């Protein structure tokens, strides 16, 4: 039976799933610049820094299992002229990558941006992360910048892409 994917705001009891999914991304070696696993406390602090009314974390749930998540984060907090710009990040459980969950999460987050007062989104990704490049381009994001060779994974260097999309006129 294939039950429908539900998208909702992350809750405190989701922290174990969020931590596991992020640690899978770290182990992948192409999805984040973290190189060591994060702890439950690290992720609790991170989730606490994402108030649902301003910078929510959305989860994709099917049959009570979290399959992925997407967060909106402030860009240069405290700089009022940038308050309508946010960074978007997304991670999908290893068993569910390539199934459309990442796209569904990003589209859901974009749909929530008007009520959050967010007009511009950008994503920062490793330039070796071709899967995320394809998703972002499919959803109308454009490459706005590239920082070459800024990440070093024990001698394997790669850069950061900045992909952006203007949501409001």
Q: Read off the pLDDT of residues 65-96 as tens digits, 9 standing for 90 and up.
A: 999 999 999 999 999 999 999 999 999 999 99
Predicted structure pTM score: 0.95
Domains in the chain (CATH in brackets) are 6-166 (3.40.630.30)
Output the average pLDDT for the chain: 96
- Tokens representing 38 are 């994060």
Average pLDDT over residues 132-157: 97
Q: Read off the pLDDT of residues 101-118 as tens digits, 9 standing for 90 and up.
A: 999 999 999 999 999 999
Q: Binning pLDDT at 50, 70 and 90, where does residue 27 land?
A: very high
């Amino acid at each position: 039976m294939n039950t429908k994917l539900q998208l909702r705001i992350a809750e405190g009891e989701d922290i174990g799933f969020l931590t596991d999914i992020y640690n899978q991304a770290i182990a992948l070696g192409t999805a984040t610049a973290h190189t060591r696993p994060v702890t439950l406390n690290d992720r609790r602090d991170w989730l606490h820094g994402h108030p649902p009314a301003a910078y929510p974390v959305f989860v994709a749930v099917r049959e009570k299992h979290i399959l992925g998540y997407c967060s909106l984060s402030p860009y240069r907090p405290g700089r009022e002229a940038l308050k309508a710009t946010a960074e978007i990040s997304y991670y999908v459980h290893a068993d569910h990558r390539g199934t459309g969950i990442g796209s569904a999460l990003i589209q859901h987050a974009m749909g929530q941006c008007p009520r959050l007062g967010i007009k511009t989104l950008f994503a920062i990704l490793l330039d070796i992360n071709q899967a995320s490049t394809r998703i972002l381009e499919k959803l109308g994001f454009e490459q706005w910048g590239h920082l070459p060779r800024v990440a070093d994974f024990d001698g394997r260097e790669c850069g950061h892409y900045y992909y952006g999309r203007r949501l409001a006129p």
